[in-house]
Amino acid sequence: MKLRGNKLKPIRFDPSDAYLADSGIGESDVNRVAKELESIRDSVVFSNESERFETVFYHEPRRLLLEYQGDRHGSELAKLFKVANRMHATVDRIVVIGIDGIDCGAQAFLDGCCQPYWNELTRGARGSKPRIYFNGNNFDNDATQGLLSLLGATEGRPSTSELDAWGLIVVGDCDKTFAALGPFLRALHTNCGGDLSKVHQRLVGITCEQGSLGQQLYKVGCRDFFSFPKFGRHDQCFGFTALTSVGLVPAAMLGINVIELLLGAVGLNDHFEKESRDDNSVLRFAALNSLLASSPRFCGRIVSPLNHALEGLRGWYQRLLDRGGNHSVGFPDTLASSADQPEFDAAAPDSSSGTDRRPDFGSSAGGHAQLTLGQTKPLRVPVAYDFVVEDCRFDPLASDEHGVDSILGEPNIAENSLGRQAIGQTLPELYRLSAKKIAESRRQIGGPTARLIIPKVDELHVGQLMQMLMISNVIERIWLARFNGQPTHMDSPGPARAPEGDLK
């Protein structure tokens, strides 16, 4: 399967600002752990447990592409395209109903692969693709009321054209999901004028068709079902569903090129499997993460996308860190989330001693996180992970050369917080300069910074980045479980079960 014009460039890992003098972690340490991780790589690649999330998420992109390559009409992707094309012609809005943040992968695709401010564009500017809304907080009364009002459900009138018609995607496999659906199913039934054939056209289920949720959806008119991944401990593994039907169905509704999302993931798998540890970005990224997580000097991680298009992906990755598969490798929940670390307190003052508290530079939470620099206990700092984008999607926009005074007819070169070197540069140039200054600020307080350098934010590279973060997350957890003397189910991989065939 060939790329259509776009070219996949590898994501690069730059740990240079993580090797601080007092961190106790250097290049030789990363090389040593990367060598240890090679055996875990084999465990992931050659796992014979077909229903474990590690096996499913890793092989799913290639499986879907090979299946589509062999059957352009009956495969899962072919069905997905057919349903998406029908929705494009039928509705102007899509609502995704999931549970516990399972829709965060689809939100990452919206931010990373669609036009900025997608839902604010006209239907023409969106290429007749629908707007999309996520109702992940299922029992939030006010959010539900607000969304129903936006859909026109409070008016109680059926739609008269695609401009006031909307559709519903239901994601999950438990009764909790169905409990939140009632208001939306009633509103959709009304919007369709009580016509179940129209409900059929606008209702999609990503669930087990034979399960209780699937049976209830069938009763109200759903006929289009996509399989929900067979993961153990579903709520712990939702972050790993992004490149399965859970994330791909909403992405296709938006006109996102899901083929390139999957190709990006497959390209990352090839890199992970074939490159030596010295050149393997995944192994080196996971090695550094594992060392930092096992060190008493550090407490969690801050994810700074430094780019609006990657904000959704930051939220998805945080979900992965917080709850992604912890119990499946015996790794305790408290080590997965920086929010649970007592020495890194985002709000409360430290009453144990007089402390100087400084802001965290580059926090993705808006700069409100604080470091506790108490003298009665060792300083523990978070590790910052910057996602730096090399190339923008739109033409570079020039900054103001002469400051506000030039608008008033009084040219006067002014400095800003970035210094005189910022004057007259383009926004992408200022973006790179800002990223450097953020890293410098972190170094001043002893905080290490690691960077993932992303060539561009588009389907190919978003798919590549998400697959990289999922793989590294799994092998970090396995390494840390072994480091702590805990056995894991992946210590004894079985024979290879990777999908067979070449993508052409």
Residue 489 lies in a domain: no
| Domain of 62, in residue numbers | 53-260
* Residues whose CB is less than 8 angstroms from the CB of residue 181 and which lie 6 or more positions away in sequence, other chains included: 97, 170
Residues 332 and 445 in one domain: yes
C-alpha–C-alpha distance, residues 357 and 29, integer Å: 31
Residues 341 and 320 in one domain: yes
C-alpha–C-alpha distance, residues 220 and 78, integer Å: 25
C-alpha–C-alpha distance, residues 238 and 218, integer Å: 24
C-alpha–C-alpha distance, residues 323 and 237, integer Å: 7
To the nearest 10°, report the CA torsion of 40, 489, 468, 207.
160
Residue 439 lies in a domain: yes
Alpha-carbon dihedral sign for residues 95, 99, 102, 104:
positive
Residues 249 and 308 in one domain: no
Q: Given the DSSP bridges, would you call strands 12-14 and 449-456 parallel, antiparallel or unpaired?
A: antiparallel
Residues 41 and 21 in one domain: yes
CATH number for the domain harbouring residue 348 = 3.40.50.10490
Counting the structural domains of the chain, the total is 2
Residue 1 lies in a domain: no
| 93, 127, 193, 217 from 120: Cα distances, Å | 12, 13, 27, 30
Locus of tokens 């909790």:
176
Give Dmax over CA atoms of the chain in angstroms.
74
Residue 265 lies in a domain: no
C-alpha–C-alpha distance, residues 407 and 396, integer Å: 21
Enter the pTM of the model.
0.83
Q: Are 353 and 376 in contact (CB under 8 A)?
A: yes
> SS3 for 252?
helix
Ordered per-residue pLDDT tens for the chain, 504 residues = 444 457 899 999 999 888 877 777 889 999 999 999 998 998 888 876 666 777 778 999 999 999 999 999 999 999 999 999 999 999 999 999 987 778 899 999 999 999 999 999 999 999 999 999 998 666 788 988 999 999 999 888 999 999 999 999 999 877 677 777 889 999 999 999 999 999 999 999 998 877 888 888 888 889 999 988 876 555 567 788 999 999 999 999 999 999 999 999 999 999 999 999 999 999 999 999 999 888 888 887 888 888 889 999 999 998 888 765 443 333 333 333 333 333 333 333 333 333 333 333 333 333 333 333 334 444 677 888 999 998 888 888 887 655 555 555 555 544 555 555 555 688 888 888 888 888 888 878 777 889 999 999 999 999 999 999 999 999 998 888 887 777 565 554 444 455 667 776
Locus of tokens 């509704």:
253
Q: Mark out the alpha helices in 220-333 (DSSP H runs).
A: 234-237, 245-253, 258-274, 281-294, 311-323
Residue 267 lies in a domain: no
